[in-house]
Amino acid sequence: MDHSTLELAKALIARRSLTPDDAGCQEILIERLEKIGFRIERMRFGEVDNFWARRGDAKPVICFAGHTDVVPTGPAEKWGSEPFTPTVRDGMLYGRGAADMKTSLAAFVTAIEEFVAAHPNHAGSIALLVTSDEEGIAVDGTEKVVQALRARGETLDYCIVGEPTCAAKFGDTVKNGRRGSLSGTLTVKGVQCHIAYPHLGKNPIHLGAPVIAELAATTWDEGNEYFPPTTWQISNIHGGTGATNVVPGTVEIEFNFRFSTASTTDSLQAKVHAILDKHDLDYDLDWSLTGKSYLTPRGNLVDAVAQAIKETTGVDAELSTSGGTSDGRFIADICPQVLEIGPLNATIHKIDECVAVADIEPLKEVYRRMLENLFFN
């Protein structure tokens, strides 16, 4: 078996790249890519390292996207081996970032190396967009690179994000979209008073309670073929002065929508304000959009990836839009077809994060076959 992808994954895992520190991971990738003719553009924004790499000048542009940063390890003594010492044990590769997503980065590079060796004069372009700011606040990473590319008129035709997507076995799940994330901080205003004299005040918690009930019971949409219905959930409620004999003057309610493409930011905001106004509340509401919903329906990229998975593993991949946000939400602004495919996600962000060694070469093979399917079919 060829172990080049495994060895590259180990080299990346050994770098202590706690978000947003890249810790030299990107230079390892850049050195490999430059040897096979990629033009490299390092893009540092704030404290975040990013790079954009491209081989070729023509269309279509097939991009691989990912991140080198990882989440903290938690208590290192609870790991079976040191988190940043890549360790193969019982057929598994252990280390922080093994699944999310340094093995995918390694597989990107080795798949491209094999493809270029076989097709040095391939049509179109192959690109990589790599950031060290995905696991953190994600403001100086992929979003900034996409803004820079868009400003100079660069667009992508297809993009593969190497996030861990699979549930039970490698190849079983491809993410073809993600729900949007819209948060709100609602402050309901009342009148503070002594609790023994409630007629002299207005309890904002009482005023807000029927509003909460209606918001929780509202059907925001029915979803669609690819997405479940939009959900609304409260994350925090803050009210009261700390005393037991005071009616508070305000209550603050923090909530979040995870919304499908069956709704828009504007439609959700309008419905919330209509409910609040119907209850004649005195309120302030601050909105924060942290991720737009996006969708890649069945088409060229879905077909190419599904075929590559079937040819490599024999598995019929299912399309899914579950989970949280990913950097695909930014890339969708300049790319009409964005998919995520990577290893199993069972151990991501956990103690003893790992990937099966037996899945590593098939992951590389899926990426390589996908390139062939898109360029030559």
For the residues 114-123, what does the mean pLDDT come to? 97
> Can you tell me the distance from the alpha carbon of 238 to that of 256, in angstroms, rounded to the nearest whole number?
15
For the residues 68-97, what does the mean pLDDT come to? 98
Residue 377's pLDDT is what? 82
For the residues 349-355, what does the mean pLDDT come to? 98
Instruction: Name the band, by pLDDT with cuts 50, 70 and 90, for residue 174.
Output: very high
Residue 1's pLDDT is what? 55
| Mean pLDDT rounded to a whole number for the chain | 97
For the residues 62-72, what does the mean pLDDT come to? 98
For the residues 291-301, what does the mean pLDDT come to? 94
- Confirm if 218 and 175 have CB atoms less than 8 A apart: no
> Can you tell me the distance from the alpha carbon of 142 to that of 156, in angstroms, rounded to the nearest whole number?
14
The residues assigned a catalytic role are 69, 134
For the residues 263-281, what does the mean pLDDT come to? 97
For the residues 175-191, what does the mean pLDDT come to? 97
| SS3 state of residue 151 | helix
Residue 270's pLDDT is what? 98
For the residues 138-153, what does the mean pLDDT come to? 96
Least confident segment among 99-108, 207-216, 318-327: 318-327
Instruction: Name the band, by pLDDT with cuts 50, 70 and 90, for residue 245.
Output: very high
Instruction: Name the band, by pLDDT with cuts 50, 70 and 90, for residue 104.
Output: very high
pLDDT at 140 over 80: yes
**b/e 305-315 (16+ beta carbons within 10 angstroms → b):** bbbbbeebbeb
For the residues 12-25, what does the mean pLDDT come to? 98
For the residues 10-20, what does the mean pLDDT come to? 98
Query: In the chain, at which residue ranges do the beta strands (DSSP E only) sit?
Result: 39-45, 48-55, 61-67, 87-89, 92-94, 125-131, 158-161, 173-175, 177-178, 180-189, 193-194, 231-239, 246-247, 250-259, 283-291, 294-295, 318-320, 338-340, 354-356
Residue 194's pLDDT is what? 98
Residue 61's pLDDT is what? 98
Helix pair 25-35, 103-118: axis angle to 10 deg:
10
Q: Alpha-carbon Rg of the chain, whole angstroms?
A: 24
Closest to 50 measured CA to CA, from 112, 125, 163, 134? 134
